[in-house]
Amino acid sequence: MKIRTILAALLLMAVAAVPARADEGMWLLSLLGRNYADMQKAGLKLSPEDIYSINQNCLKDAIVGLGNEGSPFSHFCTGEIISTQGLMSTNHHCGYGKLQEHSTVEHDYLRDGFWAYSKDQELPNPGLTASILVRMEDVTDRIQKGLSDDMSEGDRAKAIERLSKEIASEAAAKTGYAARVKPMFNGNQFFLFIHIIYKDVRLVGAPPSSMGKFGGDTDNWSWPRHTCDFSLFRIYTAPDGSPAEYSKDNIPLKPKHSLPVSIRDLHAEDFAMVMGFPGTTDRFLTSYGLKETMDINNTIVYRVRSVKIRVLKKQMSASRAVRIKYASKYASCSNYWKYSNEQNKALTNLGIMKVKQDIEAQYLEWAKDKDPKYTRALDLLREAYEYRAPHQTAMTYIAEGLLSGTELPFQSFKLGYNLLPYLKKGVDEDDRLNAIEKTRKRGMTFYKDYDMETEREIFSSMCSYVYSHIESRYCPKFLEDAHTKYKGDFKQYASYVFSRSVFATQASFEAFMQKPDAKRLESDPLYQAGKGAYEAYRQIYESIPSQQNDNLERGQRDFVDGIMQINQGKKLLCPDANSTIRFTYGNVRPYDPRDAVSYSFYTTLRGVMEKENPRDDEFNVPARLKELYKAHDFGQYANPKGELPTCFLTTNDITGGNSGSPVISADGCLIGLAFDGNGEAMSGDINFETNLQRCICLDSRYMLFVIDKFAGAQNLIDEMNIVR
């Protein structure tokens, strides 16, 4: 072996043999034993069976994945059960959409908060689901038996889908629960997850948005933080304890396990574990994928959403009704808007491109004497990413600007597309009437949170921006026609569209649905705009040769397979997050983000008062909170120094979907709710940065203080097991 090769091999061994870091990894519960010794070293006092067991009640029985009916396995947030009566805490921003849905100008729960002082005051939320894991199982061998390297990617995907459905159906038939098979490590492993899914989840309480969103976009993804980011829900069941749709006869869930809530003081290096349903990470992304993420996805998302946010801010500040209607939409838009920009900054500052390229160089050195598929993997990825770059750019502009940036065109197209077949001759009259009623109901749901002037402003701004930035060969035809006809004046185009469309207002939509007409629908300008944007997106996607998509799938799978082999017996590898339940572990810890800057690991209510700015909606402080602070009325929730802790930091791995996850102490008590990451390490979804990455958590003492002292909801305090 040549000296250069020997040195490279030694370097590879040194890197690959680095022990697993306690802070990094979204670990699978069933593989807990592999991490247990390290968890004990970090301070854990529980046994593995206390955390995950299929034979006894344990922590996993108190962890809830929040989803929506129709996609209950796609968890958007996490919650935790904190009483024997099914009371559940999660983040304020996780419950924000439900608060918005229940709010009106007369009862503005976003502004004023909401508290149920008895169970009959709790508010139902149709469509919201709560999922609790029953058990999980490795089914890799069974699926791998039906696969081969000779398969095309399409045939492989079909085989996986067939086998996964077969396994899930068998499990569901045996247990009566919901079951699903999920791939891990880019399709190199497969696990079966069995859940019980509850369908009656009611809103119990939430502080005003001035507290629950304190700091707004300014403080988002940053530390120090003082956000009171929690809301409360309750899970209900049928009288026999089984999942059931909402009914007045339902009773509160009697959970197998609920978390005691701690008001003990926290110290640096205390053990901390987060359990929840993290959305997605991409730790095995190559340098080619990273370039696409930074240069295309993040850059375009940030720029397009900047335009939309400017419009929303103007419209929402001018009207209280518009503010309520668009509050949840604005929060959703702005969250990823800032994330995309902060992630690009962190990826650049931390030199993650070089990190990825070094890993690939080491991988290629290992792969030289292995199956040719491993050396070919990176070539396949490079070619696929390079080929699809212009396509991905155009699709991102269309998706962000024309399909989700301005909502009404695509909404109009979806409503019309589903209705049109039933407006043709020869359709059964009952089927036609049923389709009309379904379309009407879907439309009415949309118009509840809709304002024509706001949408028209967004529509013209998005059309103008996309037309100005997308490559002409990919520009949707309706945009080109509008630019020509109105000489580039998209405001004039928007005025025409909204004056002629049956979808422009709720009243015109309802009038049309009284006597829907296929010809009028197909010629409707908003329907045509939505159809034009959708078809342009689809045509661009379909213009990418299927072989390029296959190469991307195969190349990534083989690359990850190689990385797994390199680290076998040397370093524990964790599969990327994919909305399945995981645990992470670490410690309470401060950090030093920059030269001469050191951050404490916790904040207090004093910081809320210091940040107060009555002229800035992001930093308003309710009068009641100021009264309590001035009186130093913190009750049993103050720390030994007499301070009221608000938020704290841990080294736990966290990503989207972990919002609302419980932060659990060494002995299994709730010490906080995870709600954010820090901007300096926003690269974490792609590359974990040990020294900088922090999980920002709401202190359980602040949550209890607000429930008790601020809201006076003694009924909720009484049902919790508060550990002093």
- Token pair belonging to 460: 């013209």
Residues 505 and 660: their CA atoms lie apart, in Å, by 36
Summarised one tens digit per residue, pLDDT across range 339-380 is: 999 999 999 999 999 999 999 999 999 999 999 999 999 999
User: Does pLDDT of 644 surpass 90?
Assistant: yes
Residues 309 and 317: their CA atoms lie apart, in Å, by 12
Span 295-323, mean pLDDT? 97
Residue 18 is predicted with a pLDDT of 34
**Alpha helical stretches, state H, 251-371:** 287-292, 299-318, 320-349, 352-367
Whole-number Cα distances in Å, 76 to 69, 93, 305, 418, 463? 12, 11, 21, 27, 30
Residue 572 is predicted with a pLDDT of 83
User: Does pLDDT of 20 surpass 80?
Assistant: no
Residue 22 is predicted with a pLDDT of 56
Summarised one tens digit per residue, pLDDT across range 90-142 is: 999 999 999 999 999 999 999 999 999 999 999 999 999 999 999 999 999 99
Summarised one tens digit per residue, pLDDT across range 413-465 is: 999 999 999 998 889 999 999 999 999 999 999 999 999 999 999 999 999 99
Sign for the CA dihedral angle at 199, 201, 202, 207 comes to negative
Of residues 690 and 494, the one with the higher pLDDT is 494
- As a whole-number percent, the residues of the chain with pLDDT over 90 amount to 93
Q: How many CB atoms lie within 10 A of CB 424?
A: 9
Summarised one tens digit per residue, pLDDT across range 571-620 is: 789 999 999 999 999 999 999 999 999 999 999 999 999 999 999 999 99
The contacts of residue 55 (CB under 8 Å, 6+ apart) are 49
CA-CA-CA-CA dihedral for 561, 566, 572, 575, to nearest 10:
-20
Residue 495 is predicted with a pLDDT of 98
**pLDDT bucket at 4, cuts 50 / 70 / 90:** very low
- Token pair belonging to 410: 């695509």
Q: How many CB atoms lie within 10 A of CB 544?
A: 17
Residue 26 CA from chain centroid, whole number: 15
Query: Which residue is listed with tokens 């040990």?
Result: 690
Strands 722-723 and 261-262: parallel
Residue 24 is predicted with a pLDDT of 84
- Token pair belonging to 714: 């003694």
User: Does pLDDT of 569 surpass 90?
Assistant: no
Residue 2 is predicted with a pLDDT of 34
| Whole-angstrom Cα Rg for the chain | 26
> What residues are labeled active site?
93, 229, 659
Residue 571 is predicted with a pLDDT of 77
**pLDDT bucket at 21, cuts 50 / 70 / 90:** low
Residue 12 is predicted with a pLDDT of 35
The number of helices, as runs of H, and strands, as runs of E, in the chain is 27, 22
Residues 136 and 516: their CA atoms lie apart, in Å, by 49
Summarised one tens digit per residue, pLDDT across range 40-80 is: 999 999 999 999 999 999 999 999 999 999 898 999 999 99
Residues 587 and 604: their CA atoms lie apart, in Å, by 19
Residue 15 is predicted with a pLDDT of 34
The model carries a pTM of: 0.92
Reported as type and span, the H/E element at residue 375 is helix 372-398
Taking each helix axis from N to C end, the angle separating 477-485 and 490-500, rounded to the nearest 10 degrees, works out to: 110
Q: What are the extents of the domains in the chain?
A: 57-256, 287-348+365-542
Residue 19 is predicted with a pLDDT of 36
Q: Residue 87 is which amino acid? A: L
- Token pair belonging to 221: 């993804």
User: Shortest CA distance to 25 belongs to which of 589, 693, 698, 659?
Assistant: 693
Cβ atoms 338, 306 nearer than 8 A: no
User: Does pLDDT of 655 surpass 80?
Assistant: yes
- Token pair belonging to 36: 């247990």
**What is the SS3 string spanning 594-622?**
ECCEEECCEEEHHHHHHHCCCCCHHHCCC
The contacts of residue 109 (CB under 8 Å, 6+ apart) are 99, 102, 103, 206
Query: Which residue is listed with tokens 């195969």?
Result: 554
